[in-house]
Structure formats: structure tokens, C-alpha cells
Chains A and B, each alone.
Chain A
Amino acid sequence: MSSHYEAPIREPLVIGEKSYHDISVDVGAPVLGKANKSWWIVFTIALVAFLWGLGCIIYTVSTGIGVWGLNKTIGWAWDITNFVWWVGIGHAGTLISAVLLLFRQKWRMAVNRSAEAMTIFAVVQAGLFPIIHMGRPWLAYWVLPIPNQFGSLWVNFNSPLLWDVFAISTYLSVSLVFWWTGLLPDFAMIRDRSVKPFQKKIYTLLSFGWSGRTKDWQRFEEVSLVLAGLATPLVLSVHTIVSFDFATSVVPGWHSTIFPPYFVAGAIFSGFAMVQTLLIVMRKVSNLEDYITLLHIEYMNKVILLTGGIVSIAYITEYFIGWYSGSSYENYTYLSYGAATGPYWWAFWALITCNFIVPLTLWVKKLRRNIMWTFVVALVINIGMWFERFNIIVVDLSKGRTPSGWTMFQPTFVDIGIFIGTIGFFFVLFLLYARTFPVIAQAEVKTILKSSGQRYKRIRESGESLAGAAIDERTSGKYVSGEDANQTKNNE
């Protein structure tokens, strides 16, 4: 699959004088070491936010949906906005691990683990909203087609909300399995490197007795490829189905055939922005700058540019077809002249600024390779993509077909509190993950070290032999120079 020859024009993906051993050490360090003070501070903040959100959820469920800012016209607002936002964020993970695997992008190996973790934690947050926005969440199990005592009363399979149930639950399960499979060799590495008996016990359990035999690796690769092949249509279909929630309706602005691919592109756009936000911090605090390099950040910025471009074309299409349709109702949709000048003008311009204008700066190579600027742009996109969903949902609902139903939406502290709670919960999970899981797929990075590692590229370019170059004195005990290794090989 990946030959050892690589065009000299390609930049290295692992920088520094890294050997296989170094990778194990660097990846294992955060797991085997102790958390520092700043970790605890951030964790506490996240935990408090989570608990506050939990309180808001309990308050909503026990008192009633009326504690939210919804009204009779706008029955969906922050709840579904947050739901779509979180699901969208979750898409980058699967894109990185599945689609980029199919496209044989070697750079994905340093970022896929964290992206997948992000997917799973984001989908968990998303999964909360379909439940808690129900009026009677304790009857949520009725959405499942289970034989029952109401004369076997079943669900209607015509509703995209039901498709959502299947889509999200399948997505979460497949992502989890995909993620965990990839973790097996890495857990095994931590298991073998940990010295504390309790820790060793835990990672023994987690790694399912992985011993890394040839046959295991063969099947491991096959499974990864099959799962990637399945996860790719899955990732497209999940956000497609989320988009059907709107597009199947007859609400002006919602009923649009471009929604499925456009939502998927938007999901990747926002998901990559979130990956950037997290990894730019993570590479710093976990000392992984040699693995998550500037090149990785630039590549991710390019994906952001691409998907941002697709989303922009979709915006233009929506705007144009809204006009072209000649329908007077289309003048109040989220991308229309009416929206730009109406009561939600600020939301419209927030969307245009954050998703279109600011990401355009990434066309400049200097800015694309500037970590601080990337971080800012990524944050701005996260905000912008929240506004996109808010606009689609709230702006379109606020001015429907009958003017007597026109109204505005005002969130309450509970709406906001739950959203903050999910952000807190997300970071609680992510912070715990960063301390206990190997955050870089070390087994995979080791497969590209010789083709794309800076050290090996240098050796190759200077015309020396790679034989013996991987030997590390810390593991072999004795330093063997390249020449000696050649000698040994020749003797054999």
C-alpha cells in the first residue's frame, strides 16, 4: 500500500530525529505521566459547566419545555441548532479516519485518533438533544419499532426524525467500533510500557490481548479498510438524513434539494475547524509538535478551504434560486435579501462574515501556515457554523407563509445553559481522553516513519542506506551504525 519511495518534493510528516522508540515514548508520555495543575483547572471548569447544563436539563424535563424560549411559530430553535451543530462537528472525525484512509492520505495518521475521539464525544452531545427536546422524553423508547402490547403499534417510517434515530445510533456505534479497533495496538503499547500494576491491568483489559502477529495485522488492515468503506457512505448519509429533517418539509427556505450535500460539506467544514481548535492546543500541551506539524495544520486548512468553498457555492445557489424561483415566500429565507435586511440581519451577516469572508484569508499561504491565525479562523468558523444552523432553523421559521404567525425567538437562560452544559460535557470527555488514551495512532505513524519521517528522508536524500537506520540504542542496547548493519546483512 505505501511504498517506501516518496517523491523528494513532499514535505516530511514526522519532524525531528525520530525513531520508532521515540514515537512510543512521546505518545505514551501523557498517559503514563501525571496531570498538571492547568489540566485540573480546565477540567474543573468543564465539569462545572457540565453540571450546570445537567441542572438545566433536569429542570427542563421536570418542569416542561415551556422553560425554553420556543413559541408556537418557532418550535425548533437552540435545541435543534445545537443538535445539528454537534453532529456536524462529529463529521470531521470520520472524514479523517475513513475518507482520508480511502484516499491514502498519510498525514491523517497523526490526527485521526483525536478526530475520532472528537466525533464520538460530539455525537454524544448531539444525541442528548433529540431526547431532551421531547415533550415527554420518558416515552422516547416509542421511537423504536419494538413489538408491544398496543396491538403491536409501530412507528411510521416516513419521518426523517425517525431516520435520524437510526442514522445517529448507527453512526455512533460504527464510529466507536472503528475507533476502538484502531486503538488496540496502541493500548497494547501502553500496556507494555506501563509499570504500575493497576494501570497495566486496565490497559491489558482495554487492548483485548493484542499481540501484533502478522495474521492479526493483516486482518486489522482489512477491517480498517472495510470499515472505512462503510463509514464513508455512512458519514455522508448521516448528515444527509439530518438535512432531510428540513429539506423534506414544505417550509420556504427548508425545502431545498441541495441541502443533503451542502449539509455534509458544512459538517466537514465545521468539524475540521473544531479539530484545528483542539489539536492546536493539544500539540502544544502534550508536546506533539513533531507529529502534528505545521504541514498537518496547513493540510487541514486546505480541507477547510475546499469545504468552505463548496458551502459558499451552496449559499450562492440558495440565494440565487431563492430569487430565481420567483416565489414571494422565498424572500424571507435564511439566505435572501429579506434575511440580510430583516430583523435577523445580524445573524445573516454573522454567517456571511464567519463562514465566507474570514475563511477566505486562508488562501494566503502565510496565514494558512500561521498557527495563531489558524486558531482564530477555526474558532470563527465554529461560531459561524452555529449561526448557519440557527439561521436555517430560526430565520426560516420566524417568517413563514402566514404573516399573522410571524414572530421572533428569544432564548432563555435554560436554552443557553444546556448548550453550555454540552460544551462542558464535551470537554470533560475530551480532557479525560487526552490523559488516558494514546492521542496519536502510534502504530500507524510508525508505518510512515521511514517514508515520510524527516530523519529518513534526509538519509535517503544524502544517498545513504536506510538499513539499520531504525535501530535505537535505547532499545537495542548497543549502537549499530548504518555501515555495521550493512555488514551484518551482507554476511547473512
Chain B
Amino acid sequence: MYKLSGKLKLFSIVLMVLGLVGLTYGFLNTPSTVEDVKEILAAQESHHGGEAAMSEHEDTNKESFVDQARGEEGFADATMEHHEQQMDEQHHGNHLEHVLHQLQTKPWSATLVSAFFFFMIALGALVFYAIQYVAQAGWSPVLFRVIEGITSYLLPGSIIVVLIVLLAGTHFYPWQNEELVAGDKILQGKSGFLNFPFFVIRAIIYLLGWNLYRYFSRKNSAQESATDLKPYRKNFKISVFFLLFFIVTESLMSWDWFMSMTPHWYSTLFAWYVFASMFVSAITVIALVTIYLKSKGLADFINNSHLHDLAKFMFAFSIFWTYLWFDQFMLIWYANMPEEVVYFVLRIQEYNLLFFGMLVLNFVFPILILMNSDFKRVPWFIVIAGIAILVGHYIDIFLLVMPSTVGLNWSFGITEIASISFFLGLFILVVGTGLSKVKLHPEGNPFIEESEHYHY
């Protein structure tokens, strides 16, 4: 039986408190008027004083995004900045208004990135769990309690994410600005889907569906016994329907929560790309938690063949993520259609290091480290690769949100770190508590014996 140690509990609470303090600071410290923005920009200018040649260029950039390859403001920022430009026009072409809006959005975005990152780990783990049931996997039942522990974060995590998404309003979603929609034919065309009431209803449906499956599967799985196959069969069935529900709602969720941040832009692959990120991070966390529990001597029934399999999944889905990343990027780069390419122009121009650095963390590093089958059995290697993957996918989510919401005015500072700290603390606390509720060794699953004797 695992018990969340007092030390870890204290640690996670400290993380959360520090995070909360940092977030409060972040929210309170946003400029509230154009005058504040002027001051901030002036401060930045004096800061860059030595690089006078650069600063002029930077300033124009700071105020409105210019596609450097095309050398114009036209197409490329049309979708991204349309919203702000329209607002600017109403305010007599004041670019500062636009910067103000982005700066006010910053703490919101920072919160969403971390909140979604930890939430998607729980959701991804739940999907992995459902797949193991549906596939009647013989190796993984020993991991079920561990995975259930991780998915216990789903309920708080999903509620927080949904609240952020619903409360963020025009900070994230320009299409919620009625004035803007009134002047935008394209957004009017989309209003059948992108309207607030429907948006709320959809979010609630996802929330309910995912959490109900998590609740019932956990309940059934705890009831499994060697003599009665009923709970197992029930779980099998609901897992099938959950996966069906998930593939649909995951697509909708990605369009709703992320794609609609730049409501003119669209990509058909987008939802699957988000899924890949979610799935690989979740498998990584399953492996890391397993290694942690094993190091405490609490999971001796999990052997290094199980770790090997998890590491193989980390390896394979890192490649899969890269495959989808490349498909989306290359096809848009190749066709170079102005209405689409803006998405990547902004990311490559303004987030260059993160954009390409994430490929090293998410692809190059894991593929090199986890290629060797002996390495995949060494906890130390899995941890190293796992940290790289998690950092990489945090950046991935960061790049999903930040360019679309705060654009050029991004930074990585107190607010961002505080939000990671808060949600990491909450994640440790909730998962630790979830893990300590039942015995870690699942009994009664019809494949448990196969799984215990599993050797690769």
C-alpha cells in the first residue's frame, strides 16, 4: 500500500502556495491602461539602449507583426491580428491598445498552458488505460492501479481547464467579441459553431463524458475478481464506447479550445496532433510514476519488462508525434497558402528557439536514448528521456497557446513558472492521494497472471 509521505505532501502544498502567489502577482501586475503599456515599452526601450540600431526594428515588431519573408503586414497577420486591428481602428489606429490586450492576456495564457498540460496527462493516461482493456493486453494489467492513480487528477484538472476556457472570453477567443464578429464576414459564417452557448454545452459534454468513464471504470476495476467476470466485461464494453466518444470529443475539444484562438486559421490534422502530444506525455508519466513506486519497493510485481514496454511506447509515440508535427508543418510550408502559413510564420519568426528546440527534446533526444533495448530497461535512462519528453511537450502546449493569444509579447517569467508550480503541486497531491487509496496490486483481472509472469 502506497502512502503519500508527509514530506511530499508538504512539498506539493508549498509548490501550490508559491504558485498561487506567483499567479496572483501575474494577474495583478498586468497593465490596465494604454499609459501603462507606454511605460512598459519605454522601459524596454531604455533597456535596449545600447542596441539602438536594433530597437527601432524591434519596436515596429512589437506593435504589429510583420511577416519577414513576405516583408509585409498584409496576409500573414490577417488572421492573427485581425481582431486587434479592428479594435485598433475603432480606437483611432492605436497599436498600443493591441499590446495592452496581449499583456492582459498573458497570465491567462500561462495558466491555461500549465493547467492543460497536467490535465492532458490524466486524460491521455485514461485513454491508454481504455486501450489496454479493449486490446485485452496481457502485459499491462499490473499497471492498472498506477494508471488509475494518475487519472484521479482528471476530475480537478478538467474542471479547472474548462473553467479557464469558459471564463477567458476574448482573452483567448476573438470570436467572442461581438463587435468584431459584426465586422467580420468569415467569423459570421462560423458563428453556427463558434458561439458561446454552444461552446459551453460542448465543454460540459466533454467534461461529463470523460469523468463518468473514469468513475465507472475505476469502480468496475476495483470489483474485479477471479470468480466473477462481470465487472471485467462491463469495463471492456464501456472502454470501447469511451474510446469512440473520446476520438470525437478530442477533435472537438482541440478545435474549440485551441484552434479557435486564431479563428480564421484551420488545419484538419490539428486535433490528432494535439492527441499525439497528450498520449506520449501520459505514457511518459505512467513510466515515471511506476519507476518512483518501484524505487520505494512498493511495486515489485512490476518488472523491468513492463518498463521496457512503456519505454517502447514512449519511443514509438515520440516518433508518432513527430510524424504528425511534420505532416502538418510540411504540408502548410509546402503549399505556402497565406491564410494557413501565418500560423507557422509567427511561430518560426518569434518563437524560433522554442519551435525547433522542441523537436530536439521530443524527437531527437528520445529516439537516440531509447533506441537501445537494454537502455529501455534502465530506470535512469527512462527518467532522463521522460523529463526531456515532458519538457518538450510543455513547450508544445506553450506554442499552441502563446503565439495565438499573446503573440509577440511573450516571455517566460514569474507567471509562467508560478503556474507550472501550482499545477505540479496539485498534480502530485491529487495523484499521490489517488494512489494511496487502494492496494497497488490489482487482483481479479482475468489477465493479471499473464501480466505478472510477463517477460520480454
Q: Tell whether B456 is near chain A: CB-to-CB under 8 Å.
A: yes
Nearest 10 interchain pairs by C-beta? A258-B268, A257-B269, A260-B327, A9-B446, A326-B189, A326-B186, A258-B269, A248-B334, A257-B328, A256-B268
Q: Tell whether B67 is near chain A: CB-to-CB under 8 Å.
A: no
Given A255-B335, A309-B244, A324-B190: A9 touches B268 (CB 8 Å cut-off): no
| Smallest beta-carbon distance A230→chain B, Å | 12
- Does B324 contact A261, Cβ atoms closer than 8 Å? yes
- Does B447 contact A258, Cβ atoms closer than 8 Å? no
Identify the interface centre among B268, B271, B449, B450: most chain A CB within 10 Å of its CB: B268
Annotate B265-283 by CB proximity to A: 1 below 8 A, 0 otherwise: 0111111100000000000
| Smallest beta-carbon distance A245→chain B, Å | 12
Inside 8 A of B454's CB, which chain A residues have their CB?
3
* Separation of A318 and B272 alpha carbons in the complex (Å): 13
| Smallest beta-carbon distance B184→chain A, Å | 10
- Does A248 contact B335, Cβ atoms closer than 8 Å? yes
Q: Tell whether B331 is near chain A: CB-to-CB under 8 Å.
A: yes
| Smallest beta-carbon distance B4→chain A, Å | 33
- Does A257 contact B268, Cβ atoms closer than 8 Å? yes
Identify the interface centre among B186, B248, B335, B455: most chain A CB within 10 Å of its CB: B335
- Does A261 contact B272, Cβ atoms closer than 8 Å? yes
- Does B456 contact A1, Cβ atoms closer than 8 Å? yes
Given A5-B450, A244-B331, A309-B244: A318 touches B269 (CB 8 Å cut-off): no
- Does A318 contact B268, Cβ atoms closer than 8 Å? yes
Q: Tell whether A249 is near chain B: CB-to-CB under 8 Å.
A: yes
Task: For chain B, residues 393 to 442, give those with C-beta under 8 angstroms from any C-beta of chain A.
Answer: none
- Does A6 contact B450, Cβ atoms closer than 8 Å? yes
Q: Which of B186, B229, B327 contacts A257 (CB 8 A)?
A: B327
Given A247-B331, A313-B248: A5 touches B449 (CB 8 Å cut-off): yes
Inside 8 A of B319's CB, which chain A residues have their CB?
233
Annotate B160-189 by CB proximity to A: 1 below 8 A, 0 otherwise: 000000000000000000000000011001
Inside 8 A of B268's CB, which chain A residues have their CB?
256-259, 314, 317-318, 321
Q: Tell whether A364 is near chain B: CB-to-CB under 8 Å.
A: no
Given A7-B138, A324-B190: A261 touches B327 (CB 8 Å cut-off): yes
* Separation of A177 and B331 alpha carbons in the complex (Å): 32
Q: Can you name the residue of chain A whose Cβ is closest to the Cβ of B188?
A: A326
Q: Can you name the residue of chain A whose Cβ is closest to the Cβ of B328?
A: A257
Q: Tell whether A325 is near chain B: CB-to-CB under 8 Å.
A: yes
Identify the interface centre among A259, A260, A318: most chain B CB within 10 Å of its CB: A260
Q: Tell whether A41 is near chain B: CB-to-CB under 8 Å.
A: no
Q: Tell whether B230 is near chain A: CB-to-CB under 8 Å.
A: no
Given A257-B332, A326-B190: A250 touches B337 (CB 8 Å cut-off): yes
| Interface contacts beyond A6-B138, A10-B136, A258-B268: sample of 15 additional A-B pairs, CB < 8 Å, sorted by A | A3-B453, A3-B454, A5-B450, A7-B446, A7-B447, A7-B450, A250-B337, A256-B269, A258-B269, A309-B244, A313-B251, A321-B266, A324-B193, A324-B266, A325-B266
Inside 8 A of A256's CB, which chain B residues have their CB?
268-269, 331
| Smallest beta-carbon distance A130→chain B, Å | 20
* Separation of A30 and B453 alpha carbons in the complex (Å): 39
- Does A240 contact B327, Cβ atoms closer than 8 Å? yes
Inside 8 A of A418's CB, which chain B residues have their CB?
none
* Separation of A7 and B337 alpha carbons in the complex (Å): 55
* Separation of A8 and B446 alpha carbons in the complex (Å): 8
| Smallest beta-carbon distance B294→chain A, Å | 21
* Separation of A160 and B189 alpha carbons in the complex (Å): 34
Q: Which of B251, B269, B327, B449 contacts A7 (CB 8 A)?
A: B449
Inside 8 A of A318's CB, which chain B residues have their CB?
268
Q: Can you name the residue of chain B whose Cβ is closest to the Cβ of A246?
A: B331
- Does A9 contact B449, Cβ atoms closer than 8 Å? no
* Separation of A387 and B251 alpha carbons in the complex (Å): 25
Q: Tell whether A231 is near chain B: CB-to-CB under 8 Å.
A: no
Annotate A5-18 by CB proximity to B: 1 below 8 A, 0 otherwise: 11111100000000
Q: Can you name the residue of chain A whose Cβ is closest to the Cβ of B337?
A: A250
* Separation of A303 and B61 alpha carbons in the complex (Å): 51
| Smallest beta-carbon distance B257→chain A, Å | 15
* Separation of A418 and B456 alpha carbons in the complex (Å): 49
Annotate B298-340 by CB proximity to A: 1 below 8 A, 0 otherwise: 0000000000000000000001000110011011101101000
| Smallest beta-carbon distance B265→chain A, Å | 9
* Separation of A6 and B454 alpha carbons in the complex (Å): 10
* Separation of A208 and B131 alpha carbons in the complex (Å): 42
Q: Tell whether A236 is near chain B: CB-to-CB under 8 Å.
A: yes
* Separation of A480 and B56 alpha carbons in the complex (Å): 94
* Separation of A3 and B138 alpha carbons in the complex (Å): 11
Inside 8 A of A233's CB, which chain B residues have their CB?
319
Q: Tell whether B247 is near chain A: CB-to-CB under 8 Å.
A: yes
Task: For chain A, residues 286 to 332, give those with C-beta under 8 angstroms from any C-beta of chain B.
Answer: 309-310, 313-314, 316-318, 320-321, 324-326
* Separation of A310 and B186 alpha carbons in the complex (Å): 29
Inside 8 A of A320's CB, which chain B residues have their CB?
255
- Does A9 contact B447, Cβ atoms closer than 8 Å? yes
Inside 8 A of A247's CB, which chain B residues have their CB?
331
- Does B190 contact A255, Cβ atoms closer than 8 Å? no
The contact sample of 30 A-B pairs, CB cut-off 8 A, is: A3-B450, A3-B454, A3-B455, A5-B453, A6-B138, A6-B450, A9-B229, A9-B446, A240-B323, A247-B331, A248-B330, A248-B334, A250-B337, A255-B337, A256-B331, A257-B269, A257-B331, A257-B332, A258-B268, A258-B269, A259-B331, A260-B324, A261-B269, A261-B324, A309-B247, A313-B248, A317-B268, A321-B267, A326-B186, A326-B190
| Smallest beta-carbon distance A82→chain B, Å | 24
Inside 8 A of B248's CB, which chain A residues have their CB?
313, 316
Task: For chain B, residues 243 to 268, give those with C-beta under 8 angstroms from any C-beta of chain A.
Answer: 244, 247-248, 251, 255, 266-268
Inside 8 A of A326's CB, which chain B residues have their CB?
185-186, 189-190
| Smallest beta-carbon distance B91→chain A, Å | 27
Inside 8 A of B135's CB, which chain A residues have their CB?
103
Inside 8 A of A316's CB, which chain B residues have their CB?
248, 251
Q: Can you name the residue of chain B whose Cβ is closest to the Cβ of A3?
A: B453
* Separation of A473 and B389 alpha carbons in the complex (Å): 57
Task: For chain A, residues 221 to 271, give those with C-beta under 8 angstroms from any C-beta of chain B.
Answer: 233, 236, 240, 244, 247-250, 255-261
Inside 8 A of B138's CB, which chain A residues have their CB?
6-7
* Separation of A195 and B453 alpha carbons in the complex (Å): 44
Q: Can you name the residue of chain A whose Cβ is closest to the Cβ of B456?
A: A1
Q: Can you name the residue of chain A whose Cβ is closest to the Cβ of B326?
A: A260
Inside 8 A of B251's CB, which chain A residues have their CB?
313, 316-317
* Separation of A5 and B452 alpha carbons in the complex (Å): 11
Identify the interface centre among A8, A248, A325: most chain B CB within 10 Å of its CB: A325
* Separation of A440 and B171 alpha carbons in the complex (Å): 61
Inside 8 A of B446's CB, which chain A residues have their CB?
7-9
Inside 8 A of A6's CB, which chain B residues have their CB?
138, 450
* Separation of A240 and B328 alpha carbons in the complex (Å): 12
Inside 8 A of B272's CB, which chain A residues have their CB?
258, 261
* Separation of A330 and B446 alpha carbons in the complex (Å): 50
- Does A255 contact B266, Cβ atoms closer than 8 Å? no
| Smallest beta-carbon distance A6→chain B, Å | 7
Q: Can you name the residue of chain A whose Cβ is closest to the Cβ of B252?
A: A320
| Smallest beta-carbon distance A23→chain B, Å | 23
* Separation of A47 and B251 alpha carbons in the complex (Å): 47
Inside 8 A of A313's CB, which chain B residues have their CB?
247-248, 251
- Does A236 contact B269, Cβ atoms closer than 8 Å? no
Inside 8 A of B456's CB, which chain A residues have their CB?
1
* Separation of A103 and B267 alpha carbons in the complex (Å): 31
* Separation of A50 and B185 alpha carbons in the complex (Å): 56
| Smallest beta-carbon distance B348→chain A, Å | 17
* Separation of A320 and B189 alpha carbons in the complex (Å): 13
- Does A248 contact B331, Cβ atoms closer than 8 Å? yes
Q: Can you name the residue of chain A whose Cβ is closest to the Cβ of B185?
A: A326
Inside 8 A of B244's CB, which chain A residues have their CB?
309
